[in-house]
Amino acid sequence: MSASAHNWQLGSIRRASATQQVLQELREAIIDGRIAQGDALREVSLAEAFGTGRSAVREAVRQLVQEGLVDYELHRGAFVRVMSLADRLDVYVAREAIEAGVARRLVEASPPVDVSTLAAALDDLRRTADGHDQVTEDLIGADILFHQELVRLGGSPRLQRAHETLAAETRMLLRHHPQYPWFDYVCDHERVFEAIERRDPRAPEVVVEHLRLSARLIGDELERE
């Protein structure tokens, strides 16, 4: 039986940018488990809990369906997606296709692409990781931003949009990342950056190896849990 929206500890929403605020609040509640897999997302109940109109809730739920966090069934409504281990890790399959393709574009680009913004994202990740063998929320954010910047450098708005829809599921998975030496975590990303910077023809393979390592570590942890 689905929990009530009033029991999910959802924050109240201001009028400005109501849809975006509802979306952010629902996304966070799903990612951190306040709204459980299989729970129904009822427009009326959520609108009352947020203090917004139903249209803001409806649009936010549509975005969550696009992001893969919510399923919609005709005559039944929207439900938080129930995901198997393979289904969860499929986000890395999608990321692999996008990021390896971007790496290939960057290596072959003429003239060479300026990677200074990717270097800055790596520096931020390095500072955030320093001394933390446990993957923190700040490190998750820095990790995702590094990969988003990599995709942005590819210069394809469509690939960027596709990759952005995977961010929420990636955050959810990275919260299950096992304890991992922070220096190794940084080095894993440095190898990706250096391959791109050197325009190494193997850069796409380096990206694939990086993502598969992460998927394997998380998958093993989820199986233990």
* pTM score: 0.80
Contact residues for 111 (Cβ-Cβ < 8 A; gap 6+): none
- Render pLDDT for 11-49 as a digit per residue (tens, 0 to 9): 665 554 889 999 999 999 998 889 999 999 999 999 999
Confidence band of 83 (pLDDT split at 50, 70, 90): confident
Contact of 180 with 133, CB cutoff 8 Å: yes
Helix 137-153 × helix 182-197 angle, to 10°: 10
What is the CA 154 to chain-centroid distance, rounded? Answer: 18
User: DSSP code of 101?
Assistant: H
pLDDT given at position 14: 56
Place of tokens 């829809």: 165
At 111-154, the pLDDT tens digits run 999 999 999 999 999 999 999 999 999 999 999 999 999 999 99
Q: In what order do the strands lie in the sheet with 70-73?
A: 40-41, 77-80, 70-73
Asked whether residue 7 carries a pLDDT value surpassing 80, the answer given is no
Beta strands (DSSP E) in the chain are: 40-41, 70-73, 77-80
| Alpha-carbon distance values, 109 to 54, 104, 149, 202 (Å) | 47, 8, 16, 15
**How many other C-beta atoms lie within 10 A of the C-beta of residue 9?**
9
CA dihedral 78, 83, 89, 92 (to 10 degrees): -10
Mean pLDDT of the 79-92 span: 91
Report whether pLDDT(61) > 60.
yes
**Residue 163 pLDDT greater than 80, yes or no:** yes
pLDDT 10s digits, 170-202: 998 998 999 999 999 999 999 999 999 999 999
